[in-house]
Structure 1
């Protein structure tokens, strides 16, 4: 993504110093680690003045332009921008276009996210879409919700947010890793592997997903013979790979982000690459690696990713926003989060964060089904209750802001180190 306005659908972007958008493929070696699940979620910055609305709906984004999840940034940004374009094409909010402020989330132990949040709050953002990383969200959730602003993540999957004290202002379109862990464990065991090893990033995302995969593997009659936790900033992963291989697993699940390239190379160097040891990826490292590996390196590797199929039409519209897109991970979730914010503001008749939050559960369930902002807004104008079903699937929130049901896609890599879908599994949470 090379700038805020691309393609035929221009989005009104409010300029904020220091929030330049750049195209990134993945985090470099300078990327900082995310905090452990035990670390505080509070930001070091004092909360901004309470958001009470100013009549102009302003949405901010807190998504990865830098760091270990930067490869997820372009599709997520495109989803937000496309949704705001659609909202504005349908009349916007309160007779005015919805404003949009972009921001980089960085990584959890840098100060990028907290600085971005303060800038977004200073720009009168009523809702912030992000972060993608659960660890990053933990560092800023108190600052965002403490200011009376909605935080709406398209990709947080850590179970820690289900019971987090957020004053009812935190929502997510991605399901908790309770479901992804269940599906991954079922997948590995059903593939005939009972002795399973995990190589897990040391952060809330990693620990939560590892716990749920372990429970699922054990429920299926298998066992986790090793769960080796790694520091994402380690210069090499040779020792961790050796420890995993010493447990003689029948399969390996790698839970991480862009460190996966070095992990796979270490596995290959020690004679146990994916062609020797059945290997599985999760949503944090399921990416089209292409020429980053020799042809065939990842052939047969399977992975999981929350979300239903992304239609060709939706992909084409996203490419109008960002022609350089080569993946669509969490774009539907980012789009739906933004549309839901707009619909909730419409119902509330207010852009105040607390007013929007109060209506988000209602617009997601128990009304007339609708699948676009324009269609849903028309039903609201006619006095009907609505049930928004989006590109990420039928979104229905519980009292914690979690989706109550979701789809997990199962993917497999071909000889070109690119992945494609082989199956979808649906499940309910709670």
Structure 2
């Protein structure tokens, strides 16, 4: 199943910067069957990603996974055509995400939109741009609980409720019957905090929301320290958490730290003092490392980019493959037709397929969407009635200023 990296590099669709704020485009042009100005050899969809801003670490790995996915899809083809993606930058903000989605839907006319990373951004896009249209939206990385309330908004990453419950369990298992909590003042932070508060059997002796992108969180961490508890849970983003940790370290505070997926990243390690987070535990969606298709994906990713992928990269890869399979399975290249099949190509009633090539072969041989059960590199997908997938979790501990996987948990 492992692909030849040298051959694949030669096939690569080039990711290139274009003029305009934050726009990246994967080379190609619009290719809908009914578009007289388009290229009949190309299907074009859209993607809103965090290319800049507080979630840019996620966006960078997403784009690398998108490159690999497009290589794999276009080596086989989609109804004899190629798939291209226009990628717009949300700047990790709701306003930027809505503007990007409006451009993709209203100007480019894409029937399928992958996006976004931040939960608040995905929800804003759906409510402001996608809702009441026939465009399909599939978020690559959003875990906020609020997405479950919008069945028309699909996501590849599991709900953050599973992380909140796991954190409540881990803090209790570590012997802490009280905790201080701070959370980012948006849908992601509020929803994960609410789920944690519901699941945690101990006492929350301090809780406070915080705004993003502050120069200092000194007052906040001082209040958390004043609560008298040793266990601190921070539900926030990488940039904000880096500042908090630095404030803690400079003040001489040494709490037992806990966090969610958005706390972890190279940005945090680079922007915090050595030893400032040792012993911290974090929970995030897990990649199926024992699955052969994930191993092949990880090997390709490491060979091309010199680093290991994350589960978030795998989610982005599977978004592209799911979109391609939906196009292959649909009667026409419209949002309505794609919406009718996007859930079906990942359901367990069909024949398990672990690569795009395997799933495409089933459809190309006369199979229906119900005959395909695409098993993603991120694991089984199986969108439920709320647009949420299945998933499992990995627990990381910070050791010697690095993240070490210490446990897997079923969600």
Secondary structure at the residue paired with 1:77?
Answer: helix
Deviation at 1:259, TM superposition (A): 0.7
93, 99, 123: which one pairs with 2:84? Answer: 99
- Does 2:232 align with 1:230? no
Secondary structure at the residue paired with 2:88?
Answer: coil
CA distance in 2, matches of 1:320, 1:112: 33
278, 281, 293: which one pairs with 2:259? Answer: 281
Secondary structure at the residue paired with 1:423?
Answer: strand
Task: Spell out the pairing of 1:171-250 with structure 2 (5 A cutoff).
Answer: 171-218=154-201, 222-250=202-230
Contact 2:245-2:272 within 8 A present in 1 as well: no
Deviation at 1:12, TM superposition (A): 6.5
Most deviating of 142-151 and 79-88: 142-151
Secondary structure at the residue paired with 2:74?
Answer: helix
320, 325, 336: which one pairs with 2:318? Answer: 336
Partner of 1:412: 397
Secondary structure at the residue paired with 2:352?
Answer: strand
Contact 1:304-1:409 within 8 A present in 2 as well: yes
Change (3 A) 1:367 1:327: closer
Instruction: Map Cα deviations across residues 117-147 of structure 1 (whole Å, 9 max, x no partner).
Output: 2332222322121110011112211313444
Deviation at 1:176, TM superposition (A): 1.1
Instruction: Map Cα deviations across residues 261-301 of structure 1 (whole Å, 9 max, x no partner).
Output: 110111122322xxx31101211111134443333222211
Q: Provide structure 1 residue ranges, at least 5 long, that are not aligned to the other structure.
A: 1-5, 23-50
Partner of 2:327: 345
Secondary structure at the residue paired with 2:85?
Answer: strand
Contact 2:69-2:320 within 8 A present in 1 as well: yes
382, 392, 398: which one pairs with 2:365? Answer: 382
141, 149, 154: which one pairs with 1:163? Answer: 149
Deviation at 1:315, TM superposition (A): 2.5
TM-score normalised by L of structure 2? 0.86
Contact 1:129-1:154 within 8 A present in 2 as well: yes
Deviation at 1:253, TM superposition (A): 1.1
RCO comparison, higher one (Cα < 8 Å, 6+): 1
CA distance in 2, matches of 1:146, 1:207: 26
Change (3 A) 1:330 1:192: same
Most deviating of 73-82 and 202-211: 73-82
Partner of 1:48: none
Partner of 2:121: 136
CA distance in 1, matches of 2:366, 2:80: 18
Deviation at 1:325, TM superposition (A): 4.9
Secondary structure at the residue paired with 1:330?
Answer: helix
Task: Spell out the pairing of 1:304-319 with structure 2 (5 A cutoff).
Answer: 304-310=283-289, 311-319=294-302
Instruction: Map Cα deviations across residues 203-240 of structure 1 (whole Å, 9 max, x no partner).
Output: 0000011111122212xxx1221111111133311111
Instruction: Map Cα deviations across residues 330-351 of structure 1 (whole Å, 9 max, x no partner).
Output: 0001111111111122111322
Change (3 A) 1:373 1:335: same
TM-score normalised by L of structure 1? 0.82
Deviation at 1:103, TM superposition (A): 1.2
Change (3 A) 1:327 1:301: farther
Contact 1:8-1:320 within 8 A present in 2 as well: no
RMSD (CA atoms): 2.4
Q: Which has the higher helix share?
A: 2
Contact 2:311-2:378 within 8 A present in 1 as well: no
Deviation at 1:367, TM superposition (A): 0.8
- Does 2:273 align with 1:294? yes
391, 414, 419: which one pairs with 2:377? Answer: 391
State how many pairs are aligned: 380
CA distance in 2, matches of 1:70, 1:425: 27
Deviation at 1:21, TM superposition (A): 4.5
CA distance in 2, matches of 1:358, 1:214: 37
Deviation at 1:319, TM superposition (A): 4.2
Contact 1:287-1:418 within 8 A present in 2 as well: no
